[in-house]
Amino acid sequence: MGHWSILSSMDQMEGRTYVVPLPMDEAVVAVGYALQSPARVVCEQTPDGRYVTRTVKHTPSWAFLFPILLLFVRKTKTSELLFAPVEGGTGVTIYGAIDTQAAMRLRAMTTLAPVAQ
């Protein structure tokens, strides 16, 4: 049911890095699986080798001021994922906004250890 997506929120993840305690190849698959959500978040690799997530059917919070706008302002948000080997596993850096539930699933699978930039 699409109406549930109206009530969801987004997390701004600009440059946040999380450590996934897995080797690089396994981390890419595990993170992609954790972030995806049917009819809500899609994780894919682009032809140029980048990894991106698309959060579909996101409604900006300001649209609730005028309920009729809910029919017109739903949009897709895109974020980019960068993977790099770090001590303790693979560092996943996210640029952009992703669905809050997807961000919670990612945080649950990480060590939550700070990563020096």
Query: Domain for residue 17, yes or no?
Result: yes
Owning domain of residue 89: 2-108
Query: Domain for residue 113, yes or no?
Result: no
pLDDT score for 23: 92
Query: Count of residues for the chain?
Result: 117
Query: Which residues in 77-97 are b (16+ Cβ under 10 Å) and which e?
Result: bebebebeebeebbbbbbebb
Q: Which residue in this structure is represented by tokens 């190849």?
A: 25
Number of domains in the chain: 1
pLDDT score for 95: 92
Query: Domain for residue 21, yes or no?
Result: yes
pLDDT by position in tens, the chain (length 117): 233 344 457 777 778 888 999 999 999 999 988 888 777 788 888 888 789 988 876 666 666 677 776 666 666 788 899 999 998 889 999 898 888 888 888 888 886 654 554
Query: Domain for residue 117, yes or no?
Result: no
CA geometry: angle 96, 97, 100, nearest 5 deg:
150
Q: State if pTM tops 0.75.
A: no
Contacts of 101 (CB under 8 A, 6+ apart): 8, 37, 40
Q: What is the CATH number of the domain that holds 62?
A: 3.30.310
